[in-house]
Structure 1
Amino acid sequence: MDDTTRMMRAQGGRVIGDAGFARCMQALGPWLPDGPDAVPVAIAVSGGADSLALALLTRRWRRAVVGLVVDHGLRAESADEAARTVRCLAEMDIPARLLRLRGLLRGPRMAERARRLRYQALCHACRELGCLDLLLGHHGDDQAETVMMRQRASSGPDGLAAMAQAVAGTDVRFVRPLLGVCKADLYATLRHAGIDWVEDPSNTDLRTERARARHALSTDAQLRRVCLQTAQQAGGRRMARDAQDAQWLAAHARFDAGGWVGLPRMLPPERVLSALVRTVSGHEYPPSPGGVAALCAVPRAATLGGACLLAHGGEWLLAREEAAMQGHVRARAGICWDGRFVLHVDGVADGAVPALSDLYVGAAGAVATWWPRERGRPPFPARVLRTLPALHRGGRVVAVPHMGVFAPGMEQGWRFAFAPPCPATMLARFTPSGQIHHPV
């Protein structure tokens, strides 16, 4: 056991009560109905003290829950630890699903790659189970560490807001009920319940930035309080800005299911345009701030961050950049193409290959090869229509579902849902209304 963990265990902490947790969860609602046959709330459980305490408290608060345990496969003992976590959840009367990551190799940016694959696996499991909410075990110490690291990196005001208590993803809401408590309280809660946990050795590897921040904060309570106050204040300001952004988008932007956005001649504020570029391109990271600022100052046709801006009918269209799109991939129900479009096939479960297995998913391409002439002129510029997702067979386009185009004999049960990884607005809650308060 490392010195930081010994110190946190020795601090004792306070047991988190069921009533306080229930009030916190109520403030973070709404929630689906509970009961033995209800849609469960998912909990990401690593086997550490934070996620196990969250699982314990959630099971006491609600009957319909499911634990999702991810085995990264990076350490020889990870499979045994994951299996142990599943057994621990079973002892709590929590059904669990074990998710094994494939293809994660050690190397540059490993933590970032592991995080991306982990969240992809968790979200996929939530979709299969029908879960609308995924609970995460991040706590107050994690929040303080995040603020410290972002201060060192000279992050802007949004970065200093750190982690939100609740944020809506494309089809799953991420909820962090424990941001109002410290890790010592989680240790105390598990000890009181007689539950042991796994300590991940990477959490104390001082070669990582987060471990160094954790070590610094464990010996400086005042610095921890300052970091948490910074997050709370920056979070409140971020929520206010997000509300303004949402109002602007509701009043001026027109989102098309094909993945592009109509904008007025006067482009939106830089912050809004940057978010829209991420949404349209499907990129996880924002475009160059300098490029966004230059485009807002002098609106013009341009490409930026995997998206392109072009004039059309007295307005601007922000669409996907053709040259940056993904190539052809074999059609499979539930597959995500170009990081933005999910293929759905009526009557076929996600992951299964449809009956017409010789189909591929790719960009629609040259409009003249698939647009029916009897329909007259297409309603949008060819440059935009070429970026639509389409089904291909033998090198020919046989379906462009967004335009209602299907080759003779093609089933019309094929459709693409626009599901970018980054929404145009965060819809996040940073306020402390959902924090857990201990009784005095």
Structure 2
Amino acid sequence: MPGQPHGPAEPLGLRQFAPVMAALGPWPGHGVPVAVAVSGGADSMALAVLARQWRPDVVGLVVDHGLRAESRREAEQTIGRLSALGLSARLLVLEGLERGPRMAERARRMRYAALSAACREIGALDLLVAHHAGDQAETVMMRQHAASGDDGLAGMALVTPMHDVRLVRPLLSFAKPALYATVRAAGLAWVEDPSNADLRTGRARARQALAQDAGRDAALKAQALQAGQARMERDRADACWLASHARFHPGGWVVLPAGLAPPRILSALVRVVGGHDYPPDRTRINLLAQAPQPATLAGVAIMPWRDGQWLVAREEAAMAPRMPAWTECVWDRRFVLRAGSLPPDCAMGAAGAVASWWPARRGRPVWPARVLRTLPALWHGGRVVAVPHMGVCTQGGMADAVFVNHPPQPVLPGARFGGETGNAV
């Protein structure tokens, strides 16, 4: 069997796994499935074994990236192994992923998009992934080399909210040898991805360095635990600040008080309003937090508004172009379209100038025209026919269309854009 670990280890079982899952709850009642991302490697196979022991309604999601000739065969083997555990599984095939620049990042984005979509289809609220203690140490080492801030050095969180599901990492306290032992004890084989040993990648180099320095490995895991606890405290304090001072609009912008926001919060808001996975430049954020002034950065405009307040809104020139519209598609990495039916050749994109004409006919707009132009809209026949956030629809059959603001990352764990449901003007 491939991938033998170094040193003896005892397999994990329900006695070790159940308390971890209890602490990460509450969990939905039986009948609502819990999804498990299974690559076919020893780590994810061990997670599948443990999850199946924990509850019966677990569904394995197996992604085929299509980047290696043998990937489909390995994915089908993995589904067969999951079936042997009595665990139902789905094969998710990624289309359009090509080799080239930033391939790992593109693959990760497409993988999680496919996993999230599958969770919606099966009604799963939680997605388990198999990151373990070794992965955590590697992550912290890589972030040290990248000069990450305190949040980055906290490593991966046990729970990360995504669009419609919670991403849960129940194995972060368990070492890889125990996961190998768990799979062997279950009598299962697994897949070894050769890219895991490719020293051209930063993670593989970090893994090699930690394998040669057990002391540093232990120190990084301890550091991640301590930093993670500190990050949770900062998250709680920031959540209180946001609840007291920020007003989120479902159209994608945020209203802030005269002093803008503390740097950490301002950074998170710029990332979310811009639809980015990563925070903006720290130096510019710190300068703005110290001395608020109009600015644009990372596709976001920070502009003064009424009574000394500030708006943090999408920069019009940075938005995604118009694209074909279909229900559940995502535009500008932030808005999910939900509609019962759409006419042929319907498109979605920024509302543009028409969003400032309509409210002008009814009196003074509540929001600046610069902000209204960034609202998502439906286009047909070369013109805007619906701007759901404004309650405007000029073409039959589209009245039920809505755009839900789902940026790639929340402002804070568990945070979402506010619950305003009225018109934007």
Mark yes or no: TM-score above 0.5.
yes
How far apart are 1:112 and its partner, in Å? 1.7
Please name the residue that 1:394 is paired with: 381
**Matched position secondary structure for 2:43:** helix
Counterparts in 2 of 1:359 and 1:230: CA distance versus 1, 3 Å: same
* Contact persistence 1:370–1:397 (CA under 8 A): no
CA distance in structure 2 between the aligned counterparts of 1:262 and 1:111, rounded to whole angstroms: 35
Please name the residue that 2:422 is paired with: none
How far apart are 1:372 and its partner, in Å? 5.7
Could you tell me which amino acid in structure 2 is paired with residue 41 of structure 1?
V
Match 1:342 to one of 333, 336, 358: 336
Match 1:15 to one of 11, 16, 21: 11
Q: How many residues align?
A: 414
How far apart are 1:410 and its partner, in Å? 4.4
* Contact persistence 1:160–1:231 (CA under 8 A): yes
**Matched position secondary structure for 2:252:** coil
Higher mean alpha-carbon deviation, 380-389 vs 166-175, is at 166-175
Please name the residue that 1:328 is paired with: 322
CA distance in structure 2 between the aligned counterparts of 1:158 and 1:285, rounded to whole angstroms: 12
CA distance in structure 1 between the aligned counterparts of 2:181 and 2:203, rounded to whole angstroms: 23
CA distance in structure 2 between the aligned counterparts of 1:206 and 1:274, rounded to whole angstroms: 33
Q: Per chain length, whose mean CA-contact separation is higher, i.e. which structure has more relative contact order (CA < 8 Å, sep 6+)?
A: 1
CA distance in structure 2 between the aligned counterparts of 1:216 and 1:302, rounded to whole angstroms: 42
Task: Work out whether 1:382 is the aligned partner of 2:369.
Answer: yes
CA distance in structure 2 between the aligned counterparts of 1:82 and 1:410, rounded to whole angstroms: 41
Query: What whole-Å deviation, never above 9, does each CA across 1:10-55 have from its counterpart, x for those lacking one?
Result: 4121111212211110100111001xxx121110000001000100
* Contact persistence 1:331–1:357 (CA under 8 A): no
Please name the residue that 1:29 is paired with: 25
How far apart are 1:170 and its partner, in Å? 2.6
Match 1:113 to one of 94, 106, 117: 106
CA distance in structure 2 between the aligned counterparts of 1:11 and 1:408, rounded to whole angstroms: 68
**Matched position secondary structure for 1:179:** coil
Please name the residue that 1:235 is paired with: 228
**Matched position secondary structure for 2:370:** helix
Query: What whole-Å deviation, never above 9, does each CA across 1:225-262 have from its counterpart, x for those lacking one?
Result: 11100101111111111111111101000000111001
Q: How does 1:127-206 map to 2 (within 5 A)?
A: 127-206=120-199
CA distance in structure 1 between the aligned counterparts of 2:156 and 2:356, rounded to whole angstroms: 47
Please name the residue that 2:39 is paired with: 46
CA distance in structure 1 between the aligned counterparts of 2:135 and 2:241, rounded to whole angstroms: 33
Higher mean alpha-carbon deviation, 81-90 vs 366-375, is at 366-375
CA distance in structure 2 between the aligned counterparts of 1:417 and 1:69, rounded to whole angstroms: 27
Please name the residue that 1:248 is paired with: 241
Alignment gaps of 5+ in structure 2: 416-425
* Contact persistence 2:386–2:395 (CA under 8 A): no
* Contact persistence 1:131–1:172 (CA under 8 A): yes
**Matched position secondary structure for 1:178:** coil
Q: How does 1:95-110 map to 2 (within 5 A)?
A: 95-110=88-103
**Matched position secondary structure for 2:336:** strand
* Contact persistence 2:356–2:369 (CA under 8 A): no
Q: How does 1:255-294 map to 2 (within 5 A)?
A: 255-294=248-287
CA distance in structure 1 between the aligned counterparts of 2:365 and 2:354, rounded to whole angstroms: 9
* Contact persistence 1:217–1:223 (CA under 8 A): yes
Please name the residue that 1:432 is paired with: none
Counterparts in 2 of 1:53 and 1:413: CA distance versus 1, 3 Å: same
Q: What value does the CA root-mean-square deviation take over the aligned residues?
A: 1.7
**Matched position secondary structure for 1:104:** coil
Please name the residue that 1:412 is paired with: 399
CA distance in structure 1 between the aligned counterparts of 2:156 and 2:191, rounded to whole angstroms: 24
How far apart are 1:369 and its partner, in Å? 7.0
* Contact persistence 2:355–2:373 (CA under 8 A): no
Counterparts in 2 of 1:113 and 1:57: CA distance versus 1, 3 Å: same
Query: What whole-Å deviation, never above 9, does each CA across 1:274-320 have from its counterpart, x for those lacking one?
Result: 10001111122211112212212221222111111122211111110
CA distance in structure 2 between the aligned counterparts of 1:427 and 1:22, rounded to whole angstroms: 23
Could you tell me which amino acid in structure 2 is paired with residue 386 of structure 1?
R
Match 1:306 to one of 299, 303, 306: 299
**Matched position secondary structure for 2:171:** helix
Match 1:59 to one of 52, 61, 65: 52
CA distance in structure 1 between the aligned counterparts of 2:284 and 2:229, rounded to whole angstroms: 28
Alignment gaps of 5+ in structure 1: 347-353, 429-440
Could you tell me which amino acid in structure 2 is paired with residue 382 of structure 1?
A
* Contact persistence 1:140–1:183 (CA under 8 A): yes
* Contact persistence 2:116–2:163 (CA under 8 A): no
How far apart are 1:373 and its partner, in Å? 6.0
TM-score (norm 2): 0.94
CA distance in structure 1 between the aligned counterparts of 2:36 and 2:235, rounded to whole angstroms: 27
Query: What whole-Å deviation, never above 9, does each CA across 1:175-209 have from its counterpart, x for those lacking one?
Result: 01111111100111111111111111111122222
**Matched position secondary structure for 2:404:** strand
Counterparts in 2 of 1:372 and 1:319: CA distance versus 1, 3 Å: closer
Task: Work out whether 1:318 is the aligned partner of 2:318.
Answer: no
* Contact persistence 2:356–2:373 (CA under 8 A): no
